[in-house]
Amino acid sequence: MRTQPTPEKSPRRKFLRDFAIGSAYLTAIAAGWLRPVYLLAAEWNKAAFDAKVLADTLKDIGAISVVDSDQIQLKAPEIAENGAIVPVEITSRVPGTQAIYIIADKNPQPLVAIFDIGAGLEPFISTRIKMGESSKVRVLVKAGDKFYVATQEVKVTIGGCGG
């Protein structure tokens, strides 16, 4: 009986087998079948985060028309001595709130954060942001295909982006 080299013993076979398996994985990743768990939802919105003027930011998050709303409560200081730490607290009473966007109009890139609000989460977020200079802080709430906004002017004594 002819002895066949086993796949483990033949470097060529091993290469071919590994190559096939590797290709299958790459194809699966490219096709989006296999994704790291933390990327299961939308991809990081590079276009929106890179946008340098507010109009582009709004376009890139899909906020074509935005309606002022008194259903969004935005708590931020009127004067922030240190632009590196500006506390921002948002409570949305907009029915069906799906996402909360924090924007600092005059930051080098205005979009600060996007919070997708799952079914089990209260439409409430509190965090701390950096502001390069005095500007409006703008909070957008997405509900269905509509966007709502609340703004507050924050005066920054010492900017918090460079330094």
Residue ranges binding another protein (CB under 8 A): 38-42, 44-45, 49, 84-86, 89, 104, 107-109, 111-122, 124-131, 160-163
- 71 vs 91, which CB is nearer to another protein? 91
How many whole angstroms separate alpha carbon 163 and alpha carbon 161? 7
Least distance to another protein from the beta carbon of 41, Å?
A: 5
- 124 vs 155, which CB is nearer to another protein? 124
- Whether 133 and 162 have beta carbons less than 8 Å apart is answered as no
Could you tell me which residues come within 8 angstroms of residue 5 by beta carbon, excluding any fewer than 6 positions away?
A: 13
Could you tell me which residues come within 8 angstroms of residue 8 by beta carbon, excluding any fewer than 6 positions away?
A: 14
- 39 vs 79, which CB is nearer to another protein? 39
Least distance to another protein from the beta carbon of 98, Å?
A: 11
